[in-house]
Amino acid sequence: MSSTVADMVHNGEWAWPNTWVNRFPALENLPNVVLNSEAQDRIVWRSREGADMEYSTYVVWDDIRQMQDQAPWARIVWFPQAIPRHAFLMWFLVCKKLKTQDMMSRWGLNYNLMCCSLCMSGPDSHEHIFFKCSFASQIWNGVRDKADMGSIEENWEDIFDYLLQHAESNRANHIIGKLVVGATAYFVWQERNNRLFSTKKRNAANLIEVILTTIRMKLHTMKFKRTSRVNQVLLEWKLPRALLMVKMNAANKLQV
């Protein structure tokens, strides 16, 4: 581990240990090098375009990974004001990768298990839990007005379409909408798991209060542009006017 490049070169030719060559035959095909005795060894990454740059794990990962265009829903999930654990679950939800029982049934599990643990009547599926389930719909109906989404029904496709339309917006009500949907999905999924794997239960009113309290605490960490519409947001969420800022100068400040 303490060897330098110079230790591996004799008379201008590579002198790899036999054990290395046996394990990595490609070493024999490396072109010989001309060393500058006055230069110090350093690690350089040569990109796929042939450019030499300072080595870092970020540079390597960014160079070898498969590049794709950003998904149109990316800003629904990942945005500066997002609550990380909620964003992580939203990522699974948007991609429909949550392990609901309709998905697990494909692994050969008993079909009799496929019952929603929240309402005990519908299927345990993405479409049902978010938020067609009678229990989950109570929660959505209890928080959607706070997100200025009172007209959006308890249907994931409608909710997703609304968020997608405003994914790039920095308006306060649109940021709050994303926070409310993320928190609602997170706590509904958490309650689903609690009921499925334990005897713990919370009623809809408890969960609504938990969701609104969580969002209110998050809003306390933000700064808002001083407008009449923001004043209404502060009043609606019972937030102090100290959160108002005259000048926008931070990534997580909201505008209307």
Q: Is residue 235 part of a domain?
A: yes
Same domain assignment for residues 97 and 60: no
Q: Beta strand pairing status for 9-10 and 13-14?
A: antiparallel
Q: Say how many CA atoms lie within 13 Å of 119 toward its Cβ.
A: 18
Note the pLDDT of residue 255: 52
Q: Write down which residue in 64, 89, 114 finishes a domain.
A: 64
Identify the segments of the chain with pLDDT beneath 70.
108-113, 245-256
Q: What range defines the domain where residue 136 resides?
A: 74-254
Note the pLDDT of residue 254: 54
Note the pLDDT of residue 241: 81
Cα–Cα distance measured from residue 140 to residue 135, given in angstroms and rounded to the nearest whole number? 9
Same domain assignment for residues 215 and 117: yes
pLDDT digits (tens, 9 = 90+) for 55-65: 999 999 989 98
Q: Is residue 1 part of a domain?
A: no
Same domain assignment for residues 84 and 198: yes
Same domain assignment for residues 26 and 117: no
Note the pLDDT of residue 8: 87
DSSP 141-204: HHHGGGGT-TTS-S-HHHHHHHHHHTTT--BHHHHHHHHHHHHHHHHHHHHHHHHHHSS----H
Task: Please work out, in degrees rounded to the nearest 5, the angle formed at the alpha carbon of residue 179 by the alpha carbons of 137 and 255.
Answer: 130
